Structure 1
Amino acid sequence: MAADQGTNQSVEKAAAVLASFLDGRGDLRVSDVAQRAGVGQSTASRLLATLEQLEYVERDEVSSLYRLGPAVISLAGAAVNQHPVHREARSHAQTLACSLGLGANVAVRRGGSLFYLCNFEGKLAPKSFTLLGQRNPLHATGLGKCLLLGLTPGQRRELIPEPARFTQYTITDHDALDAALAEVTERGYAVESEELALGRACVAAPVLDSTGTVTAALSISGPLSAIDLSTREAELGRIAIEVADSISIGLGYIGPGHQPAHLTVAGS
């Protein structure tokens, strides 16, 4: 039992070392990794050396700084390619981004956050990074609002006890969030304008699985000037619903229309 506990702790420490790179802010020193992972510097150095041999991290020969290595990319690629929502949604989202020139994103819920499975940028919404694998809050995003459909007000309050504020437009009151979700249910799509980041907006629609459960969401996103909600909201909402429905059908959904009021949401 003691040996098992020691092995488990070693695995946990190695995972913490890898997780210290998740913010993607740049290469790290051994001391940076030690601080973020909550381990001693000698332990961090030893773990990094082992992970380097296994290609889970790599070290710059000039600066001696560490970054994630190719083995992590291989694992991530395998994981996302095995996910049924990603397999079904990828081509739809890619085509959508190309045709509109905007961003197209697909996410699922993981606990109290959304988790990106697909992220494509059109020429009007370029990014220098991918959202794949990143997380964002549910209450401050169009994707998240769709993923909250089907949860009761009590379940939403338990999942997000205190909705955090990101801009002056973020919904931080549960009663206001309930009202916003009622609107999403009524029209079949969600809208978010500068609630998470200033100058950005999106329109999103829920994706259903074979049981009629909201298993994912698809969004069309970009700068305010490109999204142009004042004149294009209805158009983009219709497109989001149509593409989300196509993904739903691919996942085995055969029910009538778009009925989020009667659905539950996958995720824990």
Structure 2
Amino acid sequence: MSSMPPCDAPDAPGSLRDRLRQLYHGRSPASLRFQLATTVIDIVIIAFFIATPLIRDRPAFLWIDYTVAAILAAEIVTRMLAASNIPRLLRQPTMLLDLVILATLLVPSMLENLGFLRILRLWTLSQRGVIWQQWRRTRFRDREDAARAVINLTTFLFVVTGFIYSFFFTGRPGIEGYVDAFYFTVTTMTTTGFGDITLPGTAGKLTSIAVMIVGISLFVRLAQAIFRPAKVSYPCPRCGLQRHEPDAVHCKACGQILCIPDPN
């Protein structure tokens, strides 16, 4: 009796890895649907991270926390299976961050003060190429820089809010303490400084200085992205210049004829 060829085995490890690679990195309709579905799941998880300080005392919190941990662990495992070089994947900042986030989900009582790092997953989400590939097909494609700047500013805002809430407002549980931390972060980032809420001690002053410096830089970056002439991402086939005017016919660096797709 002839045996089934190895390539026809439905559970062959190689076929599973190839399928996962195609789903994570492919451009077929099925791959894009998979990547968009994982993006939607990530957005829901990020919403949970943002709301964590408000629902931490709820009876169902630990159930949700461990469910999110299971989803994140499954995603990490599938990414490792889809990777061609696992050691290199584990050295990437996004993977290291996800491992830290997973640890805070598995032992929330011990790593509670590091919970604010979970919001950085919003930044890792913004690094996915599939999001910007779909964005460039819309009529807002020339506002990609502004969208990236908004994501960076939003990520910084909520990360700092979580940090300040964890280390300076632990005595004000629930929504009151979180709103105070959020209010302080916004007034400090905008350098409004009403003075009704301040952080105590030298550590508080240094934190305020860091928030002001970084916050102003992000606001300036956002203003530049909004008000400077809009450009789209389209690499020149000759010189590799990445950014061009939406209606450009020739590359301004080398004169190469461009064929920038028009989503309209």
Does TM-score exceed 0.5, indicating one fold?
Answer: no
| Bigger proportion of residues as helix | 2
Greater C-alpha Rg: 2
**TM-score (normalizing by structure 2):** 0.26
